[in-house]
Amino acid sequence: MLQLLFKFSNGVGIFIKDGNGGQGRYMNTSSDKLTFVVDRMLGRLAKWLRVAGFDALYDGKYKREDLIKISEQTGRIIITRDTWFESQGGREAVVLHDNYTIGQLKEFFRRHNIVPDPARFFTRCIVCNSELMIVSRDEVKDVVPSFVLSTQQGFSKCPSCSRIYWGGTHKEKMLETLKVIFP
């Protein structure tokens, strides 16, 4: 069975080892470079990975062969519920077994010892996965509601889908959830 060991305490990277006593190998040198492709059953998980700042490609149409192709072409690690991958020694996949999103996230991060960087929380578009740009209040004054403009300080914008993000209660609730996932 495929085993993945992540060691990020010193930015060491990711160590992938097959279950057959193989030597394993390092494939990335920093958590910044860890990228994922997420299977179609794990849309909510993909959203939370993006909230936590991880590059998580997701499409509700991905089939098993799409995941494999994308992983091979881009080096993205597959995150899946498809247990078929467990019989594919050497393939770069993490198979999750928990039925619920929070449990899946805990399973993913704790089992593989990945420590997300809080500085990267809320830096990525939840909808399309692009990295957000910090924008000034002036740049968003015509597109956000006036009560938001008068109560919020920081704004960011997705360069791909043009969504504007700001703080507020939504973000606070998400932070509470992130604290549950990464206590």
- Between 72 and 139, name the residue whose CB sits nearer to Zn ion: 139
Would you count residue 125 as binding Zn ion (CB under 5 A)?
yes
Strand order in the sheet with 13-17: 3-7, 13-17, 25-28
Would you count residue 132 as binding Zn ion (CB under 5 A)?
no
Angle at 64 between CA 58 and CA 65, to 5 degrees: 105
Would you count residue 93 as binding Zn ion (CB under 5 A)?
no
Q: How many Cα atoms within 13 Å fall on the side-chain side of residue 137?
A: 10
Provide the 8-state DSSP code for 133.
E
CA distances from 127 to 14, 66, 69 (A): 26, 20, 22
CA distances from 143 to 67, 125, 138, 157, 164 (A): 36, 17, 10, 11, 8
Shortest CB 122 distance to Zn ion, Å: 13
Would you count residue 133 as binding Zn ion (CB under 5 A)?
no
Would you count residue 37 as binding Zn ion (CB under 5 A)?
no
What are residue 156's phi and psi, to 5 degrees? -140, 160
CB 45 within 8 A of CB 115: no
Judged by CB under 5 A, how many residues of this single chain contact Zn ion? 6
Q: Which stretch binds Zn ion (CB under 5 A): 45-53, 69-77, 125-133, 139-147?
A: 125-133
Shortest CB 44 distance to Zn ion, Å: 17
Would you count residue 161 as binding Zn ion (CB under 5 A)?
yes
Would you count residue 126 as binding Zn ion (CB under 5 A)?
no
Shortest CB 135 distance to Zn ion, Å: 13
- Between 35 and 88, name the residue whose CB sits nearer to Zn ion: 35
Token readout for 21 is 């006593």
Q: Which stretch binds Zn ion (CB under 5 A): 84-92, 104-112, 114-122, 150-158?
A: 150-158
Shortest CB 130 distance to Zn ion, Å: 5
Would you count residue 158 as binding Zn ion (CB under 5 A)?
yes
Binding site for Zn ion (CB under 5 A): 125, 127-128, 158, 160-161
